[in-house]
Amino acid sequence: MAGTRTALQESVRGGRGARPSTRRRFVALSGAALAGAGRLVAAAGAPATAGAADGRDAATLRIAKQPGLGYLPLLVMRELRLLERRAPGVAVEWVEQTDNRTGPIGEALVAGTLHVGAGGPAVFFQGWDRGFAWKTTGALCTMPLYLVANRPELRTLKDFGPGDTIALPAPGGNQHVFLQMAAARELGDAHALDHLVVGMSHADAQAALLAGRVAAHFGSPPFQYDELAQGGPDFGVVVDTYTVMGGPHTFTMTWAMEDWATGNPGLFDAFVAALQEATAFIGDDPAAAARLYVDGEPSRLSPDEILRQLRGEGVAFTTTPRGFLPYAAFLRQLGAVEQVPATWEAYAFPHLHGPHGS
């Protein structure tokens, strides 16, 4: 395995108690980790984002990764040592966020203890809105996400009752935002199902769904496809995010602080090039990418099963952001962000700018 795998420490948890206003309700759920970021910067001492005093790039590069097919380009980068080839002598550390929560990743970026983050867009957009000087270094993939239910009578959001718990990685995170989009569209109230949401890692949520301990799981590949295959005819899709968004959208992305990119131009360029190479590798040889996934990630699925998912409808690995503006516009409707830029390029480093993003 390339690099060193560590685990991000758990940080600030979402608050409990009286139900806050619409804006504060979303921020309290999804932005708890971000709320302490400014305090962490002060407490962290000299940030790890800075380059060496003589202008050379830093000697260490710390990159976040999470479980799931949405992070396959990073896994390919790690397993093929693409960064080590471009930045010899640099210690590449892979920080594994195994519980699928992106909030602590954003917090670590601001504190300077992490250099490249990876996750869904919710935390990224909220941090950008709060003035955190970060931009995306590249999307990882576009994929449809499914809300999978384990009973045949649960096929629309209107079917969910008081005891029908919905598991997803984190309240206020990416899947929760999509659930709120679907609830606004189908039920007329984005927050209609918030009281049913519980936070679980995808692996734990899948086990709970199959055992009947939760009614539904808003997951991602490969978990959602495996659930449908294992669950049989009683299991079904309640929400498809491509339907909610009106088309393909970025599921996972990478981002970095602007001062780190400026202070470490060689490492920044090496990461961007390695991400582009990893993305091209998946497109050119998906069978080899599937084998790397099974070898490098805890998975009960075979390479052939992963390959079928990689070739599934709507699945694409690309560094081009898709659906940034409509996603951010919905966050503004929720009161979770106050501003949406005129163009999606405001969220991205210049190498990504072009006519194909959105």
d(CA 20, CA 326): 25
CA distance 304 to 93: 30
Could you say which residues of the chain have pLDDT below 50? Answer: 1-55
Q: Do domains 4-143+248-352 and 146-245 have the same CATH topology?
A: yes
d(CA 291, CA 282): 11
Please name the amino acid found at residue 152: P
Contacts of 96 (CB under 8 A, 6+ apart): 5, 6, 7, 8, 65, 66, 67
Q: What is the pLDDT of residue 19?
A: 28
Rounded to whole angstroms, the Cα distance separating 71 from 100 reads 11
CATH classification code of 4-143+248-352: 3.40.190.10
Q: What is the pLDDT of residue 104?
A: 85
Query: What CATH number belongs to 146-245?
Result: 3.40.190.10
The per-residue DSSP string of 234-250 comes to G-EEEEEHHHHHTS--E
The 10s digit of each residue's pLDDT in 236-261 is 999 999 999 999 999 999 999 999 99
Residue 142: name the closest of 351, 314, 338 by CA. Answer: 314
Sketch the domain layout of the chain as residue ranges.
4-143+248-352, 146-245
